[in-house]
Amino acid sequence: MALRSGVSFLRFHALRSSSRLLSTHTRPEVQQNGKKIAEFPGAKAPYVTEMKILNETSYEPIPIYRVLDNNGDVLINSEEPHLDKEVLLNMYRSMVQLNQMDKILYESQRQGRISFYMTNYGEEGMHLGSAAALTPQDLVFAQYREVGVLLYRGMTMTELVNQCYGNHEDPGKGRHMPVHYGSKQHNIVTISSPLATQMPQAVGAAYAFKRTPNNDRCVICYFGEGAASEGDAFAAFNFAATLECPVILFCRNNGYAISTPSSEQYRGDGIAARGPSMGIHTIRVDGTDTLAVYNAVTKAREMALQNKPVLIEAMSYRVGHHSTSDDSTAYRSLEEIQKWTTDENPVQKFRLYLERKGLWNEEAENTLVKDSRNFIVRTMQEAEKKKKPHWKEMFEDVYYDKPFQLQKQMQEMEEHLKKYGEHYPLDSFQKE
Amino acid sequence: MSSHFTFFPDEHKPIEGDTTKMNMMQAINNAMDITLKTDSSAVLFGEDVAFGGVFRCALGLQEKYGNDRVFNTPLCEQGIAGFGIGLATAGATAIAEIQFADYIFPAFDQLVNEAAKCRYRSGGQFDCGGLTVRAPCGAVGHGGLYHSQSPEAFFSHAPGLKVVVPRGPISAKGLLLSCLKERDPCVFLEPKILYRAAAEEVPTASYEIPLGKAQVLKEGDAATLIGWGTQVHVLLEVAQTAQETLGISCEVIDLMSILPWDEETVCNSVKKTGRCLVAHEAPLTSGFGAELAATVQSECFLHLEAPVARVTGWDAPFPHVFEPFYLPDKMRCLSALEKLIHY
């Protein structure tokens, strides 16, 4: 060991001597950086001589914006949005319809009439607050728990129920699981099950809008705090910021990703904290406060149209189970759920607000609930009677033009069914 | 909703000794329990694993082994796979759960480019053999596009990975225990419809079923029927019906290991029967049946009485309400078998 060090020392010494022979300077001339601010390509920041370690407590928690208190009273008058009576009532009616639809379709899954369902309880304020702040031309990329947005934009209960039944009037032609809605007409891109995949897609769509002359459209992308853990979420934030896209990234932080509480999903100050760190304008809002969400999305839309992407983190609570495949009492207490169905109930808050304004009363409520329920039950009974699409629809839309192989396979199935048709549920499907 | 197959319980036990009645979910739970008990480096993780996982395979294991060994991860499949590779690289046994095989694709890069090539690119210095990625796969009656896929063929194209599919509780326990001890990274695809479909008398002790080996479940001479996972049960029923209605005796093989696969057992059988039918739920084009058919025709050419038949899902995404028309069900397999016999 000693010998090896000696040899390297000698080598080093020889090298230095030879460089001295080649150069008149022993040290290179350096320009002292007189400025206090470093100018690295990756960061322009002050130099300090004291090491600075930051953590989640280095910053104040990002505050949560709200307009209403739990009694539906406006906290500060200047923050009350000036919405038409009809708009307010439309928002509220959509909430009630959504609740009734959830109740009945959830039950219908329990009775084996549809294969799957997901409710929206506790998140109605985020749906209607955001939907009302958008124009029908804005493009929606949803996750799967934003049905209030769909209803407000004009998707009919009938379309939604038909989708859940996968009958021949389902716009998705029976190919997708229930609750995976979509409507070209209403600018709602069909929902996909994998999480966060819609996020970079939304940013790409926004970039296309940006390149349209006189663009007046933005994209809104809904996602959960669980989905925000996917790699695609980071990609979306980063692309939105660097490519300056007219997009609103709307996080519904409802506290749970199936059974995983947000405390195990992330550390730090939630999803909102990621916004400023990535150069995105960010608002954190009380998602149970419909008017606060409305204001946040209105502001975000304004900024997005100036090609400033905005991240909104709406705080809420998933009151229902994740889906009909889940029993959330396996991982959370009934007391915990209770708090969010009473004090912090977004529908109740909004209803109280409308009542204070003299726009709503008990009688109107009862009529609406009854009418909504009857309509959904009737729609469901009708949907149930409708045949499923022709089995050949299975082979359509894989490609724009059916390739040879698929034509051959469809023919093979046709011949098979001619011979063995009695083994297949052909009666429940449309005939040619 | 009725299922498209009848479960055929295993007739013989892999080892002697006590047995317990278990469904496949319990058998998988039992295999992980044994590993966590006997291998102190072993950890089990994935989305919602803490409370048992959405299919309850990890039920009770966090209570038993603590939350540093059985835990939830953030919702990120690429993270789960990469984290598992890291654990295995550092010498731990990593049992990673992907909630549905349909959601494994964000982890594709980690599995195909990293796990599969780890030993090779390091000249044998590093490996991640301690990693086993479990994922529920296959048709379930109502899963639609994203809760039904069978992605085994994608992974079969990644030299360095082992890909395994059990057909029931007994095979699931033995194969999973083999994967967990295996020195190469494994993708363990669990046909989710079998989790609760039926129970078998599963040996209580630890046992391993060798990877890379197929099992002949029924001997016969008229044709060789090859499948894996749920499809094995469809083929066993096809063989039974063919016996009754056509008076022929078919050999039924459960391939069990997709990568590497048991060429010897398959080719010996086809040389004997002269006819081969492969069936799988995944689409026809580039499904693993294509690999079997190509090898069978090159190895058994002079023994073949008919071209190899493939009965599979169609070349379309897995559809929701059309599932009964999409699957390579009993009638489609029978019809193909009849053509094979009368070729």
State pTM to two decimals: 0.94
Catalytic member of B4, B47, B114, B147: B147
Among candidate residues A123, A322, A328, A344, the one labeled active-site is: A322
A149: three-class secondary structure by DSSP: helix
**Nearest Cβ partner of A175 from B77, B145, B324?**
B145
Residues of chain B in contact with residue A229, where contact means CB-CB under 8 angstroms, are: 74-76, 79
**Interface residues from chain B to A (CB-CB < 8 Å):** 1, 47-48, 50-52, 54, 72, 74-79, 102-103, 105-106, 141-147, 284-285, 314-317, 319-322, 324-326, 329-332, 335
For residue A380, pLDDT beyond 80 = yes
Is residue A174 very low, low, confident or very high in pLDDT (cuts 50, 70, 90)? very high
Report residue A290's pLDDT band, with 50, 70 and 90 as the boundaries. Answer: very high
Partner-chain contact B103 A231, CB within 8 Å = no
A231 contact residues in B (CB cutoff 8 A): 76, 78-79, 106
Instruction: Determine which of A259, A266, A333, A427 to mutate to test the interface with B (most B C-beta atoms within 10 Å).
Output: A259
- Across the interface, do B315 and A406 touch by the CB < 8 Å criterion? yes
CA distance, residue B144 to nearest chain A CA (Å): 5
Is residue A210 within 8 Å of residue A240, measured between CB atoms?
A: no
- Across the interface, do A258 and B143 touch by the CB < 8 Å criterion? no
Chain B CB contacts of A413 under 8 Å are 314, 325
> Which residues are bridge partners to A284 per DSSP?
A313
3-class DSSP assignment, residue B278: strand
Give A5's pLDDT tier (boundaries 50, 70, 90).
very low
Mean pLDDT, range B188-195, rounded to an integer: 98
Q: Which pLDDT score, from 0 to 100, does residue A31 have?
A: 72
**Contact yes or no for B284 and A409 at CB 8 A:** yes
* Cβ within 8 Å, pair B331-A423: yes
A47 phi/psi in degrees, rounded to 5:
-80, 145
Rg for chain A, CA atoms, rounded: 29
Residue of B nearest to A327 (CA): B54
Contacts of B16 (CB under 8 A, 6+ apart): B203
Residues with Cβ within 8 Å of residue A38, at least 6 apart in sequence: A44, A45, A46, A47
Residue from A256, A260, A399 whose CB has the most chain B CBs within 10 Å, to mutate: A260
> Do residues B321 and A166 touch, judged by C-beta distance below 8 A?
yes
- List chain A residues with CB under 8 Å of B151: none
Q: What is the dihedral of CA B144, B146, B152, B155, to 10 degrees?
A: 160
Phi and psi at residue A45, in whole multiples of 5°? -150, 160
Residue B198 has a pLDDT of 84
Nearest CA among A353, A347, A317 for reference residue A333: A317
**Both structure tokens of A346:** 């977004």
**Distance between CA atoms of residues A79 and A63, nearest Å:** 16
Q: How far apart are CA A192 and CA A195, in angstroms?
A: 8
Which of B167 and A9 is assigned the larger pLDDT?
B167
For residues A99, A100, A101, A102, the Cα torsion angle rounded to the nearest 10 degrees is: 50
Is A151 a residue whose pLDDT tops 90? yes
pLDDT band at A1 (very low <50, low <70, confident <90, very high): very low
Residue B144: count other Cβ atoms within 10 Å of its Cβ.
26
Closest to A159 (Cα-Cα) out of A144, A172, A177, A141: A172
Task: Report the alpha-carbon distance of residue B302 to residue A376 in Å, rounded.
Answer: 65
Contact B50 A424 (CB under 8 A): no
C-alpha pair distances (Å), A84 with each of A81, A90, A96, A347:
9, 10, 19, 18
| Residue of higher predicted confidence among B291 and A18 | B291
Please give the Cα distance from A96 to A269 (Å, whole number).
33
CB–CB of A420 and B321 under 8 A?
A: no
What are the residue ranges of helices labelled H in A243-361? Answer: 262-265, 274-277, 290-304, 334-342, 346-356
pLDDT value, residue A2: 43
The rounded distance, in Å, linking the Cα atoms of B267 and B224 is 10
Give A8-26 pLDDT, tens digit per residue. 444 545 555 555 555 555 6
Q: What is the CA radius of gyration of chain B?
A: 19
**CB distance B211 to B179 below 8 Å:** yes
Which residue, B286, B341, B335, is CA-closest to B311?
B335
Sequential DSSP letters for A397-428: TSSSS--HHHHHHHHHHHHHHHHHGGGS-GGG
Size of interface A-B (CB pairs under 8 A): 131
Q: Is B325 within 8 Å of A227 when comparing Cβ atoms? A: no
Tens digit of pLDDT for each residue in B204-254?
Answer: 999 999 999 999 999 999 999 999 999 999 999 999 999 999 999 999 999
The pLDDT of residue A7 is: 47
- CB contact at 8 A, B262 and B213: yes
Packed helices B169-181 and B24-38: angle between N→C axes, nearest 10 degrees: 30
Examine residue B260 and say whether the peptide bond preceding it is cis (omega within 30 degrees of 0): yes
- The shortest CB-CB distance from B332 to any of A394, A398, A416 is to A416
Q: Higher pLDDT residue, A8 or A230?
A: A230
Choose the catalytic residue: A94, A108, A316, A323: A323
pLDDT the model gives residue A9: 46
> Confidence class of residue A432 from pLDDT cuts 50, 70 and 90?
confident
**Residue A384 predicted with pLDDT over 50:** yes
For B90, phi then psi, to 5°, come to -90, 10
Q: Is B44 helix (H, G, I), strand (E, B) or coil?
A: strand
Model pLDDT, residue A11: 52
Share of chain A above pLDDT 90, in %: 89
- Alpha helices by DSSP H, listed for B46-203, are 61-65, 77-89, 108, 118-121, 152-156, 169-181
**Residues pairing with B199 in the sheet:** B23
pLDDT at position A33 is: 65
Cα distances (Å, whole numbers) of residue B320 to A182, A376, A402, B90, B152? 16, 23, 20, 42, 20
Residue B131 has which token pair?
Answer: 């990693």
Residue showing tokens 């990693």: B131
Interface test with A, best of B322, B327, B337 (most A CBs within 10 A): B322
C-alpha span between B147 and B100 (Å, rounded): 7
Rounded distance between C-alpha atoms, residue B211 and residue B156, angstroms: 14
- Tens digit of pLDDT for each residue in B43-82? 999 999 999 999 999 999 999 999 999 999 999 999 999 9
Distance between CA atoms of B184 and B157, rounded to whole angstroms?
Answer: 15
User: What pLDDT, on the 0 to 100 scale, is given for residue B295?
Assistant: 98
B76 exposure class (CB count in 10 Å sphere: 0-12, 13-18, 19+): buried
Which distant-in-sequence residues (6+ apart) come within 8 Å of B151 by Cβ? B101, B102, B104, B105, B137, B189, B282
Can you give the three-state secondary structure of B289-336, one letter per residue?
HHHHHHHHHHHCHHHCCCCCEEEEECCCCCCCCCHHHHCCCHHHHHHH
Closest residue to A259, CB basis, from B48, B315, B317: B48
Contact across the interface for B79 and A231, Cβ inside 8 Å: yes
Q: Which residues contact B157 (CB under 8 A, 6 or more apart)?
A: none
Tell me the backbone φ, ψ of residue B228, rounded to 5 degrees.
-155, 160
pLDDT value of residue A331: 94
Backbone angles phi, psi at A83, to 5 degrees: -105, 140
Rounded Cα–Cα distance for residues A357 and A73 (Å)? 10
> Residue A35, Cβ neighbours under 10 Å: how many?
9
Q: Spot the catalytic one: A19, A193, A259, A325.
A: A193
**What size, in residues, is chain B?**
343
**Distance of residue A218 Cα from the nearest chain B Cα, in angstroms:** 28
Q: Report the alpha-carbon distance of residue B55 to residue B2 in Å, rounded.
A: 19
User: Are B325 and A391 an interchain contact pair (Cβ–Cβ within 8 Å)?
Assistant: yes
Known catalytic residue at A323: yes
Residue B125 CA to chain centroid, in angstroms? 29
d(CA A370, CA A367): 5
Q: What percentage of chain A has pLDDT greater than the value 70?
A: 93
C-beta of residue A126 within 8 angstroms of C-beta of residue A314 = yes
Phi, psi at B164, each rounded to 5°: -135, 140
The alpha carbon of residue A425 is apart from the nearest alpha carbon of chain B, in Å, by: 8
Contact B1 A115 (CB under 8 A): yes
Residue A6: is its pLDDT beyond 50?
no
Asked if B24 and B173 touch (Cβ cutoff 8 Å), the reply is no
Told to judge if A193 belongs to the known catalytic residues of this protein, a careful annotator would answer yes
Q: Assess whether A19 carries a catalytic annotation.
A: no
Place of tokens 């209607």: A128
Task: Check residue B67 and report its DSSP letter.
Answer: T
Q: Considering A18, A19, A56, A107, which one is annotated as catalytic?
A: A107
CA distance A300 to A304: 6
Hey, is B312 helix, strand or coil?
Answer: strand
Is residue A82 among the annotated active site residues? no
What is d(CA B146, CA B127) in angstroms, rounded to the nearest whole number?
A: 32
Query: What are the structure tokens assigned to A361, written together?
Result: 């009363």
Nearest to A359 by CA among A151, A83, A67, A99: A83
